[in-house]
Structure 1
């Protein structure tokens, strides 16, 4: 195998390449810089955070609400499977995200049986 030396460009080639790279960075806004993350993306970020942190099966997103410094996302999780499924133990987690969709905190706010729909709404 023959190794050839790397091609050395002129100073103007390197400068032009640097300007193109800078232009690309300016054209592609970063999620951390963007002040507004769409609600759907915030919901997905909250769902992903709970899935990766708890390892539990997720039922779905129950709440996506903007806050002063980001998003509050509610995620329903199957904590314990039972037979029949009406006996499953579900939990509701609240996930706090910053404006870029990064996890700030999460907490389990409720646990309840699947069959007790009123409990999921905070009736007990």
Structure 2
């Protein structure tokens, strides 16, 4: 015999891959830019922070593309709460992280 608390399932907690996927989708929609890669995912006490590399301007050759690093904050339910651009740089230029 099961109790009502057993039959009610708790919502699944987001995982790092699901949070990163959500951040990629949301940032692409918000900025209109292509997301190049996920460069970091961190779990915090009250949510998540995802760092993404974004193609802001495509050039020929592509080694001269203009890229940006963005930070996306999400709450415990993987809803975007904020985003900001950290820096812009040319793809071919060495940079410090």
**TM-score tier (shorter):** 0.7 to 0.9
Alignment counterpart, residue 62 of structure 1, candidates 33, 39, 42:
39
Q: How does 1:20-31 map to 2 (within 5 A)?
A: 26-27=8-9, 29-30=10-11
> What runs of 5+ residues in structure 1 fail to find an aligned partner?
1-21
1:73 aligned residue: 50
2:69 aligned residue: 92
Runs of 4+ residues over 3 Å off in structure 1: none
**What TM-score do the two structures reach when normalised by structure 2?**
0.86
1:38 aligned residue: 15
Aligned residues: 93
> What runs of 5+ residues in structure 2 fail to find an aligned partner?
none
Return the index of the structure with the highest Cα Rg.
Answer: 1
RMSD: 1.8
- Whole-Å Cα distance in 2 between the matches of residues 105 and 43 of structure 1? 14
Structure with greater strand share of residues: 2
- Whole-Å Cα distance in 2 between the matches of residues 103 and 60 of structure 1? 18
**What TM-score do the two structures reach when normalised by structure 1?**
0.68
